[in-house]
Structure 1
Amino acid sequence: MKFRVGTLVLLLATLATTQSHAQSVKWVLQDFPPAQMPINGRPGLGFHDEMVRILVANWPEAEHQFVVANSARTWLMLSDKEEACYVGALRNADREKVAYFTPFAVLPPLQLIVRKDTMSKIPVNADGEAMLSELLANPALRGLLVDKRSYGKDIDEIIAQRARKEAIQIVQPGDLGKNLPLMLAANRGDYLLEYDFILNFHKKQNYPQLEELTSLPVAGFSAMLTTNVVCPRSPWGQKTIRRVDAILVKTADSNSIRASVESWLSVDTIKRYRADMNAFAQRRKKPSDPALFN
């Protein structure tokens, strides 16, 4: 009897120790429909949400928590090396200093969103593509951008190097900028950078004023953008991003993320970028270069 009691105590102690050492992962969710749409503080209906669910389902031994934050707070958490990761980040030089990245999807390029009555003022090339540097130099026009949001490494650099700092109004919304199209329609700015599918999503939400908005491709930026899972550049973050990368390799053939992304894209967009999406899907079947996580 004493042996059985002692064995039970030992088993309980071992179980308690195992549970106390279970890795805890906090997933940051952002209000950025239709990419991410948290419901009651948990992953919702967006394709970023689907990626979070896949990671959680394939990591049952970890304790998963969720927190909703805007872009500025998300990157403050990562800079402070909090034990938190985020699904849906673009790379740039500043972000690479504070976070590890591993890719999970590709998206069509950002577009310049303008009011139809402003179209004639936008500098364009012979192909009808907006010329961003010239636009930023125009004193008569002002853009709307979200604080701490990345628009892709190259566009971020052009924006940072602009001669006229007042050319851009930096907005600090509680989300990634879902209300910026409404601000643009209300003449509180002249243009913004956004994905076409996000503008189209908002147009379907019973905002008739958004019908006054249209989009233009940006000259020199026709390539797809790679969106990533990011974790802080710390020992915890290094261990976590390696596990995330392994899960992405394991689940690369499921196609659920690609299907979730494509559910928000137009048929024409899917046709145009199918080869790029196929190529990414093949690359994602292989682990990332370990040197990226050093």
Structure 2
Amino acid sequence: MRALLLALSLTLPASAAAQAVMTWLMPDLPPASIRARNQPGAGITDAQIAYVQGRWPQVQHRFLYANLKRSWTMLDAGEQACYSFTLINAERMQRAHIVETGLLPPLQLVARAEVAAALPLNAGGEVDLPRLLAMPELRGLVSEKRSFGAQLDAALRHRPPNSTLKQTAIASYGESILSKMLLSRADYTIDYDFVLAYYKARHPKLSELRSFPIAGNAEPIKLGFACPRTDWGKATARKLDGLLASKEGAQALRSSVDKWISQDARQRYAEQFSAFYRRREKPMLARVEP
């Protein structure tokens, strides 16, 4: 049925103003999106889309849950759908028309409270990852299938032979790895602050875990809606951008993210967050490339 609905939506006129259906490609990845009976729940992008729905009632909003690979395959093919939660980088900006919707803290070092005092921190309170990887007394655990970005991936690849960091193929790596840390089977991992906040809300015992910024990886990450690089995608991105361009819209976007960010991260990145949401009060696609 979902495939039929999507096929019907793709046959509609290319003009965003005339379309009757807005198809959202949704990640099944809490708390980016918290799926509830195949509908958006209480996640970050769920709240953002709810704001858009309230201000764009002229179209029917439909939701298709798809993994990252499938979503970008559909965008690259020019299908009339927008991916609702993309972490923005230069390569993705070339592949899609992207509407910026929020700012997230970068990947963090998540550690057990018992080992926090032993972490190699610089004067700014950031973890020196190469030094940490060379400390055999501290045991790390990360997913072998996950990329953490060029810089962190390089540090992991070049860890010394005596490093006690292990890579695992376990499924549901976020929750599974954090649970292993509670059992003292690992001392640290790498993950997003907002993912840790989600699992802490579900499992109070995880409150024992702490997150620390990683030196050299301090730039917050932009997230947004991604629409295909077609005339339809450009028109739809401009429409979405305009719906969000107000003080009310900026506040709604900020609220959707803030509830999933730790107090430490909100304080550390407060200046960058405030600057972003001030810019979000106005259209941000005025200079989008044709």
Structure 2: gaps (5+ residues): 1-10, 14-18, 160-164
Match in the other structure for 2:236: 240
User: Contact 2:245–2:280 at 8 Å: present in 1 too?
Assistant: yes
The count of corresponding residues between Structure 1 and Structure 2 is 269
Matches within 5 A, 1:137-148: 143-145=141-143
Q: Which residue of 2 aligns with 1:8?
A: none
Identity %: 32
**Cα 1:181/1:257, change in 2 over 3 Å:** same
- Report the residue type matching 1:278 in the other structure: S
Give the aligned partner of residue 82 of structure 1. Answer: 79
Alignment of 1:92-103 (within 5 A): 92-103=89-100
TM-score by length of 2: 0.72
Given the alignment of the two structures, is residue 62 of structure 1 paired with residue 55 of structure 2, yes or no? no
State yes or no: 1:285 paired with 2:281: yes
Aligned partners of 2:103 and 2:221 also within 8 Å: yes
Would you say the 8 A contact 2:142–2:166 is kept in 1?
Answer: yes
Q: 1:246 to 1:72 in 2, by over 3 A?
A: same
Deviation string 1:127-157 (CA, Å, 9 cap, x unpaired) is 44222455578899665258577x5xxxx22
Q: Which has the larger radius of gyration?
A: 1
Q: Distance in 2 between matches of 1:148 and 1:65?
A: 30
Residue 164 of structure 1: aligned partner: 157
Residue of structure 1 aligned with 2:36, choices 30, 39, 59: 39
Which of 101, 120, 134 does residue 104 from structure 1 map onto?
A: 101
Change (3 A) 1:266 1:214: closer
User: Is 1:75–1:148's contact at 8 Å kept on the other side of the alignment?
Assistant: no
State yes or no: 1:229 paired with 2:225.
Answer: yes
Unpaired segments ≥5 residues, structure 1:
1-18
What CA deviation, in whole Å up to 9, does each residue of 1:253-272 have, x standing for no partner?
A: 56222233333344554445
Structure 1 CA distance for aligned equivalents of residues 253 and 218 of structure 2: 22
Change (3 A) 1:217 1:42: same
- Aligned mates of 1:122, 1:188 — CA distance in 2: 17
Describe the shift of the 1:127–1:280 C-alpha distance in structure 2 as closer, same or farther (beyond 3 A).
closer
What secondary structure sits across from 2:245 in the alignment?
A: helix
The change in CA–CA distance for 1:95 and 1:138 in structure 2 (over 3 A counts) is farther
Match among 255, 261, 266 for residue 257 of structure 2: 261
